[in-house]
Every structure is written in structure tokens, then in C-alpha cells.
Amino acid sequence: MTLTYQLVSKKIEHSTSWQQKYREIMLLGKTLPPLADILKTDDALVQGCESKVWMFVEFDLTENALVVIGDSDTRIVKGLLALILALYNGLTPEEVLSVNAYEEFEKLGLISHLSASRGNGINAMVEKIQTLAKQKAR
């Protein structure tokens, strides 16, 4: 797990109500820079998300690390995406494959509050990241 993820997840984890967690997630989404419109292509859309989520997953050979960028058209999903990016960015493919995003979201108390469609969207985003990591793992 990255240091960035540990920092951003701490506020969510220590929030005592769903409203506070929701607010922290939305604030986290505001930290993601918007993607340029030219990058918001159909190829970049994550299939399985109810909201529009554009995501690019690349592998930096010199750093042996995953680089993920993305954006969404809804504030809560953009916040969840920011949490996923913090969880996976900078990890080696092997480290990515060892991270269970569902367990992390459960630890933060998010799973029980997310709709089935949001849960499916999270799974779709994570699957896109995991797929590249599987291709690049040694």
C-alpha cells in the first residue's frame, strides 16, 4: 500500500458517520486534476460503471510501477476513483496483484453504504488495473 493511500484513507477511516465519509470522499475527488476533454474517449471509458469514468492504466518500465490517471462525471465516483488511484499508483505489478481493494473499502466502512451499481463500478475500475498488472507481472 502506498503512503499516499494511507494518508488519504485515514480521514475516511476515522470519520464517525456516513455523511462525514461521503464528504471526505467528495473532497478527495476534488484533488484529482480533470482530464482534458480530448482524453475522454470511448476507449478510455470503464465498462461496467453507471457514471462515466475515464481511466488510463500504463506501466512505467523505468520505475517498474503502475501509473493510473482518471476522471469521472460525478463527484462521489471521482472521489472513489481518487481513492483507487491512491491505492494502486506507484506499485509494482506484483504489489498491485496482492492488494484487495474490496477489503480496503470494507476497512474504511464504505462497502455497506455503496449501491450495487457503485460497487460494480469500483470492481470494473479495479479489474482494469489488475488486468494490466497481470500482463506485466514477472
Contact 101/24 with Cβ under 8 angstroms? no
CA distances from 39 to 29, 56, 90, 106 (A): 18, 9, 21, 32
> DSSP character for 53?
E
The catalytic site residues sit at 49
Per DSSP, the residues of 7-35 read: HHHHHHHH--SHHHHHHHHHHHHHTSPPP
Neighbour tally for 49: CB within 10 Å: 23
